[in-house]
Amino acid sequence: MKQLKIFITGASSFLGLHVLNHLQGKGYDVYALRHAAPLPKTHHFNAVDADLEESGSIALAAKGIYPDVVLHIAALAQTELCEKEPERARRINVDATSELLKLFSSESTRFIYVSTDLVFDGLRGNYNESDMPNPLMVYAKTKFEAEELVKAWGKNHAIIRVALLYGPALGRKQSFAGWIESSLEKGKATLFKDEFRTPLYVEDAANALVRLIDSNFCGVMHLGGADRCSRYEFGVELARQGGYELSNICGTNIKDAQLNYYRPPDVSLDSSLAKKNLGIVPISIKEGIGRYLLFSEKRGSSK
Ligand SMILES: NC(=O)c1ccc[n+]([C@@H]2O[C@H](COP(=O)([O-])OP(=O)(O)OC[C@H]3O[C@@H](n4cnc5c(N)ncnc54)[C@H](OP(=O)(O)O)[C@@H]3O)[C@@H](O)[C@H]2O)c1
């Protein structure tokens, strides 16, 4: 059987390093885009050096690679940074996606795009794939614009909107859980009581992406964790299981934070389609936090 050639962008990201792990040993021929951050030396893949911000860089670096599947994970994914640098967010999130779609335009190429729950305005929650996005912050607007490009490309594609990710950090970027833990180690963690998500354990997201490679699903798919909760409730559970002082988890509200950009109050996702199509059963927050803490304990957290 022909070995599938997979081209992955954002391999060094919080999510990408888990995906790279999941791709190992499955008989794929993996090409990983390398930019500023290092990629693990222990894994088998071909590194392709390019900067998605520089027009033409990826075309030069990926010349002669004809992937069967493109997993486009790279993004400028920090919401505040996107607000500060909207032009840069546009170049990385929109223009680079457009360039990749043109570059890998063969009829036989499958394009998988990782998007976000934040494309919704959060006024209702429990969104499914037929609900209309209404992105109201720079990050979300650029991610949604890229979604529209992928849809308009019209060939074999899947857009997977994942929820807030958490889990063990395999590289330099830690997740939301890691941020809470390091804040607690220094003192207090202040979290929104009125921002609701369906936090997704990163291994479930990586697993879904690898299953999407072999699936013939085409269109938009949502993937959130098993439970809807506020950031504050998530923090309380982490503190409880991790043996931290519960009073060091402080609650606040979005409006009190006086942000200069919009934060959607409830972008919880309905993941029925992903469960049905990919057979993914996301784990509960309780279990995910337990797994995360086990990993951080093994790593020697300073608590
Ligand atoms: N984290 C979440 O909670 C979450 C939730 C929903 C959706 N998502 C989506 O999931 C994906 C991964 O998110 P993440 O938080 O794991 O990302 P991340 O850790 O912030 O990493 C971003 C990735 O993009 C790459 N990248 C950025 N600028 C680049 C450039 N100019 N050229 C080439 N590569 C570049 C980075 O490579 P270098 O570091 O080498 O520059 C890195 O691999 C993103 O598409 C994001 O929108 C994330």
pLDDT tens digits, one per residue of 198-250? 999 999 999 999 999 999 999 999 999 999 999 999 999 999 999 999 999 99
With respect to residue 100, please indicate whether it lies within any of the assigned structural domains.
Answer: yes
Question: Taking Cα atoms as reference points, which of 76, 75, 63, 77 lies closest to residue 31?
Answer: 63
Q: Is 164 in the pocket of ligand 1 (CB under 6 A)?
A: yes
Strands 157-162 and 219-223: parallel
We report the CATH number of the domain holding residue 32 as 3.40.50.720
Please identify which residue in the block is written with the tokens 């693990």. 40
* Token pair of 57 as six digits: 């860089």
Domain of 51 in residue numbering reads as: 5-173+198-226+268-282
Q: How far is the CA of 37 from the centre of ligand 1 (A)?
A: 11
- Residue ID of nearest Cα to ligand 1 atom 24: 74
* Token pair of 298 as six digits: 């093994």
How far, in Å, CA of 95 to CA of 97, rounded?
5
Task: Give the pLDDT mean for 155-170.
Answer: 97
With respect to residue 84, please indicate whether it lies within any of the assigned structural domains.
Answer: yes
* Token pair of 69 as six digits: 């599947």
With respect to residue 42, please indicate whether it lies within any of the assigned structural domains.
Answer: yes
Write phi, then psi, for 191 (nearest 5 degrees).
-130, 150
Q: Is 197 in the pocket of ligand 1 (CB under 6 A)?
A: no
Of 7, 8, 9, 15, the residue with max ligand 1 atoms within 8 A of its CB, to mutate for a pocket test, comes to 15
Q: Is 116 in the pocket of ligand 1 (CB under 6 A)?
A: yes
With respect to residue 188, please indicate whether it lies within any of the assigned structural domains.
Answer: no
Question: Taking Cα atoms as reference points, which of 11, 38, 69, 82 lies closest to residue 211?
Answer: 69
301, pLDDT greater than 60: no
Q: Name the pLDDT band for 299 (thresholds 50, 70, 90).
A: low
What pLDDT shows up at residue 303?
47
Q: Is 75 in the pocket of ligand 1 (CB under 6 A)?
A: yes
With respect to residue 276, please indicate whether it lies within any of the assigned structural domains.
Answer: yes
The percentage of residues in the chain with a pLDDT greater than 90, rounded to a whole number, is 94
Q: Report the mean per-residue pLDDT for the chain.
A: 95
- Residue ID of nearest Cα to ligand 1 atom 8: 116
Q: How far is the CA of 11 from the centre of ligand 1 (A)?
A: 8
Q: How far is CA 241 from the centre of its chain?
A: 25
Residue 46: what residue type?
Answer: N
Q: Is 88 in the pocket of ligand 1 (CB under 6 A)?
A: no
302, pLDDT greater than 50: no
Task: Tell me the chain's radius of gyration from C-alpha atoms.
Answer: 19
- Residue ID of nearest Cα to ligand 1 atom 17: 13
Domain count along the chain: 1
**Is the CA virtual torsion 128, 123, 88, 190 positive or negative?**
negative
Atom of ligand 1 nearest to the CA of 91: 31
CA atoms within 13 A on the CB side of 16: 28
Question: Taking Cα atoms as reference points, which of 211, 250, 215 lies closest to residue 230?
Answer: 250
Q: How far is the CA of 131 from the centre of ligand 1 (A)?
A: 25
Burial class (CB in 10 A: 0-12, 13-18, 19+), 131: middle
With respect to residue 260, please indicate whether it lies within any of the assigned structural domains.
Answer: no
Task: Give the pLDDT mean for 142-149.
Answer: 98
With respect to residue 291, please indicate whether it lies within any of the assigned structural domains.
Answer: no
Question: Taking Cα atoms as reference points, which of 274, 289, 163, 210 lies closest to residue 28?
Answer: 210
What pLDDT shows up at residue 296?
82
Of 73, 159, 174, 198, the residue with max ligand 1 atoms within 8 A of its CB, to mutate for a pocket test, comes to 73
Q: Is 85 in the pocket of ligand 1 (CB under 6 A)?
A: no
Atom of ligand 1 nearest to the CA of 200: 3
How far, in Å, CA of 230 to CA of 194, rounded?
6
Atom of ligand 1 nearest to the CA of 172: 19
Q: What number of H helices and E strands is found in the chain?
A: 11, 13
With respect to residue 232, please indicate whether it lies within any of the assigned structural domains.
Answer: no
- Is the separation of the CB atoms in 195 and 7 below 8 Å? no
What pLDDT shows up at residue 159?
98
